[in-house]
Structures are given as structure tokens and as C-alpha cells.
Structure 1
Amino acid sequence: MDLSKVFSLDGKVALITGASKGIGLTIAEFFAAAGAKVVLSSRKQDKLDEEAARLKGKGYEATGIACNVGNMEELPLLVDKTVAIYGQLDILVNNAGTNPVFGPIHETSLEAFDKIMDVNVKAAFALCNLCFPHLRKSSSGSVINISSIGAISPEPGLGVYSISKAALVSLTKVFAREWGDSKIRVNAICPGIIQTKFSEALWSNEKIMAYMLKQLAIKRLGTTDEIAALALFLAAPGSSYTTGSIITADGGFTI
């Protein structure tokens, strides 16, 4: 049995937001290693250029395009540039996220609420729609939304963030339902605590970590590689009958 094509992304073009570090960058590297041409996007062009050059040094095809996904006016240009460079778009990973507050939900301002919802939900909605004309031309269009276990069970101190990720789960299911006829699959990953800079407020807090570890079946933090491997599955032919799925990778926290 030849399984070489099950996880192959040869000939595919993938756009990954929040891809200058952490989970997004690791997903980009996994996709590139699987044969995809990857577009890394985040706010700072210099950091993107640095990471794209590093990937090219490994023999991969990568390009960095700066975009603040919280600014809706920048999103069409991101998609247009991607297609202008590579001529197609097969995979979208909505990974960019933000959480400018940590604490009780009643202390969260409306301004913070709007920013979280704009980046974590509205940008994903807008990018999906902007990418739709290109994804439906693909023989295997795939959208992967990076949600959170907070969508299933609210995380301590991350009330509005958890709300936004729950909305992203619902968004995933709606798009999956409506885009099936266009042969576009839409799935979401809900990571647990992954050791990245973004989640440092959680894993650097001894009290929170002690609580979290008690809840885990696998009593350790997750790695970006473990999330990227799952994203590769959802992007590749091996998951061709998988859509609308909300997959946790949380060490058993939500069992």
C-alpha cells in the first residue's frame, strides 16, 4: 500500500494567518515540508521575511505578506497578493488570534471585546468569503480554523476570548454545511495549553497550571508540532471525508 499521497500537499497553495511564530509558523513549516507553497501572514513584514527566508533555506517555497487581520480593509489585498504570486489558493488557515485582557469578564471593556471579536471571529469570516472564489476552483479546498478548548469549556481569566472561540466553532460548522456542494471542507482545531508566547499568561502561572494539570489525562503542555500535524491531516487528502469537525488536541482536558 502506497501512503505517500495521503499527507501530500504537492501543488497546493496555503495561506496561514498569524504565521510569524508559534502554532501558525509551525503549521506553515509542516505544510511546506508536505509540498505546499505557503504564504505566511502577520503584522510585521520584517519578521515574515526572516521566517520565509529560513524556510526557503530548507528548500521550501514560502512568501511573507504583512496584514493586520483586525483591519478589514487589508484582507482583500492579502488574498489578491497571494493569488497574484501563486495563481491559486487551496488552503486557508485562520490562526491569527488576540487576547489583550486577562481577568474577570466584568472587568473587560467594550473596546477589548470588539478587538477580540474582530480578530478572532470577524477576520476569519471575512477571509473565508474572500477566499471562496479561489477555494472552489481547487480540487481539494480546505479551511482550518484554530479555535481553543475555551470554546468548549471557558478558560480561567479568558472570558471574552473563550466566547470568541466558541463563535469560531459555530462559524466553522456553518461554512462546512454551506460549502460542501462546492467541495470545500471546513474544520476547526481546539488546542489546549500549547507552550507558546501567546499562552504564556497561562503556563507561567503556577496556580493555573496546577489546576490545569490536574484535569489532564496527558499531564504536560502541548507542542506546536502536535497542532501542526493535526492541521496537516485536515489539509491533506487523508481527511477528504472530514468536514464540520471540531477536533480537540488538549491532552484530555475536555474529556
Structure 2
Amino acid sequence: MSRSASGELSGKVALVTGGSRGLGRAMALGFARAGADVAIASRKLAGCEAVVKEIEALGRKGLAYSVHADRTEELDALVEATCSRFGRLDVVVNNAATNPAAGPLVDSTGALFDKVYGVNVKGPLHLAARAAQRMAQAGGGVVINVITQGAFKPGPGLGLYCSSKAALYALTKVMAQEWASWNVRVNALAPGPFMTDMMKGAASIPGYLEMVRRSTVMKRIAEPDELVGAALFLASDASSYMTGQALIIDGGILP
């Protein structure tokens, strides 16, 4: 079987959660440019609809869908809506995540823990499982779980967020093992510092952005589009023999 290494997704259907802005939007538009139709899911429908207009301007079809990433019944409906709209589902990107408050672990219990792990772990597992079952019926597919460089290098104040992403990476490894017989590949993307809305919001902290820049060997913060190549690689047949792994895209974070 010949395989393309170009990242071509012609005729494929991708679903991106947290796709209305930032890294999710960049990946969704990258998939559309590579020939895929794309479903965009996020809490705020208006943001999803705006990205769908951009997808349609590229000559592809889009679907905007409002969903809470920790509500399993809504995730079930999202999979059904995507398959109903496009007739198939080939790629799922679990990009939606939350980090409502940074702080020490002694303050990270109870409702805060449940919220972070609900959105960052329970939701992605549920969506991936439901999507993988549909993919298996159609001959296979791809799941991409977006984690973080911090899953491998957690730090004080971010323990809850980083540990939730480390848990999702562990689940990625198990998904890959359990779903290989379905021809469903599962990998993780681990971004480092990217200029997302969250990063821009931190610009008000004196010296923060400069500290982040100095933490990388490339001495800069990436733009969202710089994650697209890695996402296309994982979504396409270019990575046909890769599963259960993580691509770390962090500008060379210093140890």
C-alpha cells in the first residue's frame, strides 16, 4: 500500500473540540486546507460558527456544535451529529481543556479537582471511546489528544492541570494498545508555550512573557499555526506506523 507523506486529508472528516479559537482553530483550519471537512465544538456556539465560515471560505464543509466537554451525553450527541452531517468520522482532536485557577495542591481539591479532571480527562476519554467505536465500524481512524509539555515537566502552581494532562497521556497509551485491532491510531500532541488567549492574558504579569521566552532554547513563544504541521502529521497516513506516542512541540524547553 502506498502512503502519502504530505499530510493530505482529502475526503476525510475531522472533529476538533475547543476549536473556536487558539490552537483548536489553527488545527481546524489546517485540516480544511488539507482537504478535510471539519466539525468544530466548543461551549460558545458563536465562536464555532465563525470558524465554520472560515472553513467554508476554504471550500470545505463545516459543522458548528455547542458542547460542554465534561458532559458525556452532549459528547455522545456531538459524535452522532458529526456522523449525521458528514456520513463518517476519521479524525478526533481532543483539544478542549480547562485550567480555571493556578495554585498549590492544598487548594486543588473538591470541586476544582472535579472540574479540571472532568474536562481534561473524563471528557476526552468518553469522546475518544465513542468516536473510536464509530471509526472501527468504518475501518479505522485517528485520535489526537492534546496534552502539554507540562505533563512531562510539571511545576508548582500547575499541579492539577499538569497531572490531568499526564493522566490523558497515560490514557493515550492504553487507547493505542486497546484500539489497534480496530485500526484506530491514538497519539498525543504536547505543546509548550504558544501565543494563545491564555498566554496573552498572562501578559499583564510583570516579566512573565520574557521568562517564558527565556525558558526555551529558541527564545520565543510560538504562534498557533506552528502546531498545525504536527497535527497534520498525526492525522494523516504520514504517521501510519505511529501510535501511543507524544509529539512535544515546545521550542526546546530548557531542563
TM-score range, shorter chain: over 0.9
* C-alpha deviation, 1:156, in angstroms: 4.5
Instruction: Determine the structure 2 residue equivalent to 1:172.
Output: 172
Hey, what does 2:30 align to over in structure 1?
A: 30
Shift of residue 203, structure 1, vs aligned partner:
5.1
Is residue 76 of structure 2 the alignment partner of residue 73 of structure 1? no
Indicate how the Cα distance of structure 1 residues 6 and 58 shifts in structure 2: closer, same or farther if over 3 A, else same. closer
Would you say 1:236 and 2:255 are equivalent positions? no
> Aligned pair 1:199/2:210, yes or no?
no
Letter in 1 for 2:187: N
CA distance in 1, matches of 2:173, 2:122: 15
SS in 2 for 1:75: helix
Output the CA distance in 2 between the equivalents of 1:90 and 1:188: 16
Task: Name stretches of at least 5 consecutive residues in structure 1 with no aligned partner.
Answer: none
Q: Does 1:119 align with 2:87?
A: no
- Opposite residue 55 of structure 1, the aligned amino acid is I
2:217–2:254 CA contact under 8 A, matched in 1? no
Matches within 5 A, 1:209-228: 209-228=209-228
**Letter in structure 1 aligned against 2:253:** F
Q: CA RMSD in A?
A: 1.9
Q: Which amino acid aligns with 1:137?
A: Q
**Structure 1 outlier segments of 4+, above 2 Å:** 2-6, 137-140, 198-215
Percent identity, please: 39
CA apart distance, 1:70: 1.7
Structure 1 residues 70 and 53, CA, compared in 2 at 3 Å: closer, same or farther? same
Moved more, 160-169 or 136-145: 136-145
Distance 1:132 1:169 in 2: 17
Measure, in 1, the Cα distance between the counterparts of 2:27 and 2:221.
Answer: 18
Aligned to 2:82: 82
AA paired with 1:6?
S
TM value normalised by structure 1: 0.93
Secondary structure of 1:199 counterpart = helix
Q: Which residue of 1 aligns with 2:181?
A: 181
**Residue 139 of structure 1: CA displacement?**
4.5
Provide the C-alpha distance between the structure 1 equivalents of 2:69 and 2:145, rounded to a whole number of angstroms: 14
Shift of 1:83: 0.6
**Aligned partner of residue 217 in structure 1, secondary structure:** coil
**Deviation by residue 1:31-50 (Cα, 9 ceiling, x = unmatched):** 01101110000011222122
Task: State how far apart, in whole Å, the 2-side matches of 1:103 and 1:240 are.
Answer: 40
Asked if the contact 1:153/1:254 (under 8 Å) is kept, the reply is: no
CA–CA separation in structure 2 for the residues paired with 1:127 and 1:223: 27
Moved more, 5-14 or 124-133: 5-14
Amino acid at match of 1:183: N
| TM-superposition CA deviations, 1:64-102 (whole Å, max 9, x none) | 111111222211101111111111111000000001002
What amino acid is the match of 2:19?
A: A
Partner Cα separation in structure 1 for residue 239 and residue 221 of structure 2: 26
Asked if 1:63 is matched to 2:63, the reply is yes
Q: Which consecutive unaligned segments of at least 5 residues does structure 2 have?
A: none
Once structures 1 and 2 are overlaid, which stretch shifts more, 207-216 or 33-42? 207-216
The residue type equivalent to 2:42 in the other structure is: S
Conservation of the 8 A alpha-carbon contact between 1:149 and 1:254: no
Deviations for 1:127-157, whole angstroms, at most 9, x for unmatched residues? 0111122211345511000000110011442
- How many angstroms does 1:21 deviate by? 0.4
Partner SS for 2:169: helix
* CA distance in 1 between partners of 2:254 and 2:178 (Å): 28
2:16 is the alignment partner of 1:16: yes
Question: How far apart in 1 are the matches of 2:118 and 2:104?
Answer: 20
After TM superposition, give the deviation of residue 115 of structure 1 in Å: 0.3
Give the distance between the partners of 2:178 and 2:55, measured in 1 at CA.
Answer: 35
Task: Decide whether the 8 Å contact of 1:193 with 1:203 is kept in 2.
Answer: no
Normalising by structure 2, what TM-score? 0.93
- Report the alpha carbon displacement of residue 13 of structure 1 after superposing the two structures with TM: 0.7
